[in-house]
Amino acid sequence: MELNILTLCYIIASVTFIVGLKMLSNPAKARNGNLVAAAGMALAIFATIFLYEDGGEKLGNYAWIFGGIIIGSVIGTLAAKKVKMTAMPEMVSLFNGMGGACAALISAAEFNHLYQHYKGPMDIPYSSVMPVGEYITIIAGAIIGSVSFAGSVIAWGKLNGRIKDFAFKGQHLLNIFILLLVLAAAVFAYQSQFKNIMLPFLLLGFFAFLYGVMFVMPIGGADMPVVISLLNSFTGVAAATGGFLYNNKAMLTGGILVGAAGTLLTILMCKAMNRSLTNVLIGSFGGSKAGPAGQKQQGAVKEITLSDAAVVMAYANKVMIVPGYGLAVAQAQHACHELEKLLESKGVNVRYAIHPVAGRMPGHMNVLLAESDVPYEKLLEMEQANEEFATTDVVLILGANDVVNPAAKTDPASPIYGMPILDVELAKNVVVNKRSMKPGYAGIENDLFFRPKTSMLFGDAKKVLQDLVSEIKSM
């Protein structure tokens, strides 16, 4: 009877995961979607602790189990509460890495468990007693989890500036060679005698970890959102292997959902970044070093005064705001929402143009603006926004750089050539707020800043927006 109740709990948890994921597609319901999925996860965890039996024996070890839950909950809560919105991608990457590490450790523990269970004469091959299906599932979890963990830690270091891009000629061939070593170690371990099996298994883990490091190390610039979503899908697949191992429906469903969602998001990110999925999978997409387009000087820029910018926007019919990482750094989302409400009180139609990879991770700008209660219907996706720019009087760019760079369409020498961008240059006036003329995340100069219709408004985004609000109110 208890097993039936446990199965029912897993089914309910799986349903909550699906419902929660569906709710995440709507920012207005996203918070509740997180709560629904979290409730399902809590149900699955406690049902496993108290209802699971193996040979008539319950789990036990409650002190270790609840000790781990309490410690992890405290660390996670404190980290989430203290993290700044600009550091959110780093936290997501690091927490994702913890999921990969967990999946790898599960595979290692299960490998040892089955090794002890099937252990026979020390001179017979492991393959003679170990079912190949179980072995492949264990090894897949160990490899994918290790790659996800190592890659996520490197991504975390690169996002916060602790780790610099590192690439050399022939690195991609070396990555492929390391991956072949991983597979060779997996085959060798399965064919090894019991007395020799631990060494190839440990080598497998080492090579998988090394591949994760080398896979992410050369990636830089505007490509980072792609690797975050890809590593997220890796963690989901690794978790799903654990579900197969333990015949755990909730773990299997959760892993499949994360893996599928991460893979689909990766494909969308590749499209948005003009990168092929094949290049992503072999770790061969661009770093942050500027090409020829990033080195050329294009002349002087035209600056606009605060009062002139206020006049242009206050008397416009339509204003489009393009948020970027500079908005997040300045924590200016609330000031931006205040400017939006003030302009609308004067009869100005205000909308936001959201590029899918603006910021440092997918959805970064959506989360940022939702925090300041910007209505979701005001957020236009790239395709929608590009249809509106031709009839827009003023585009206000707040810290965005690469996602509005016309070189992506006009300069084949540019490292971002072919990347879909926001066609802000079609508007009548473009006002760009930046702290300086420093290049964006891709490390290249922006041709937009030197266009005749573009004016630069230098300064911290939050202060500039607050000053604009004051200027418009005094008009």
| Catalytic residue selected from 308, 373, 393, 402 | 402
Of 302, 315, 470, 465, the residue nearest 398 (C-alpha)? 465
> Using an 8 Å Cβ cutoff, are 387 and 351 in contact?
no
Active site residue 460: no
Catalytic residues: 402
